[in-house]
Structures are given as C-alpha cells and as structure tokens.
Structure 1
Amino acid sequence: MPDGVASVTLEYPKKISRGRYFKPAVFPSAFIKTVQVHDNVLSVAIPRGAPDAFPHRMVWRDAAGAVVHAFTDPAF
C-alpha cells in the first residue's frame, strides 16, 4: 500500500459466483467495511470463510477522504 493511504473500504457482494458449473454462494446481505491504515498495514475480520474473503471492490482513501485508487475484481 503506498504512503498517504489513510483508510480502505472493502466491499463484498451478496452473491458470489463459484464458476460456470457450480451454484453461487448467497449471503444474507452484502458487506462493506472501512478500516484505518496504520504504518501501511490494515487488519479486518470478515464474516465469511476464507474462499470468500477477497473483496469485490477495494477503495483506498487519503486522510482528507479523497480516493487514491479503486480496484474492482473483474471476476464478479
């Protein structure tokens, strides 16, 4: 994570594809969590199992709240 990133927002969809031949995972709701970054490190607990712990979208913000960079997983 580059210097200047103060917070990160992680976005998880309600429905996650398991691939063409598998039934998708459907959760009770979508999950969005914003966490603070300390010394270029963040830590967050996600209420999903390890295979589903990768966010669909991640937004890096500076201390003023401006977007530094946004990533979207093209698999969704």
Structure 2
Amino acid sequence: MSDAPQIAQKAPYPVEVSAGKSYFWCACGRSSRQPFCDGSHKETGFEPVKYVAEKDGRVFFCGCKQTGNAPLCDGTHKDL
C-alpha cells in the first residue's frame, strides 16, 4: 500500500459539470480516466472522493493529487 498518491499531471483538469450530478475524483492518481476514478485504487489506501456539482459550469479538479481542497485544485501543483 502506498502512502502517497501518484501525480497524474501538474495542472488541474477543467471539467464542465452539471448541477446535481455526482462525480468521483481519483485520489490515488492511477486512474486511466483522469480526473475520475476507474477503480485502480484497489489495493491502495485511497478511495475516490465524491463531488456533487452545485450548479452547471466549469470546475477545476486537482491533477497533482496534493490539493488541500479535494477534489478541487488549490494551486498546490505550482510548488511541485
């Protein structure tokens, strides 16, 4: 079991979301469907993070997996 997530990319993923829809953000960095979970976290200590969109629009999901505001980007990637 790894104690640190893999960095998928050092930039956020802009995603158009729909109000009321649930999205499952990949927290481990292993998913082939970034920024969303594909089940690759099995056998790690990570679980996907559920995000429910409050309104239609664009949000920025964290790509580096180091954010303090999971699942959204907080700019941490700039320091990596």
TM tier, smaller: under 0.3
Q: Which is strand-richer, 1 or 2?
A: 1
Question: Normalized against structure 2, the TM-score is what?
Answer: 0.26
Question: Which structure has the greater CA radius of gyration?
Answer: 1
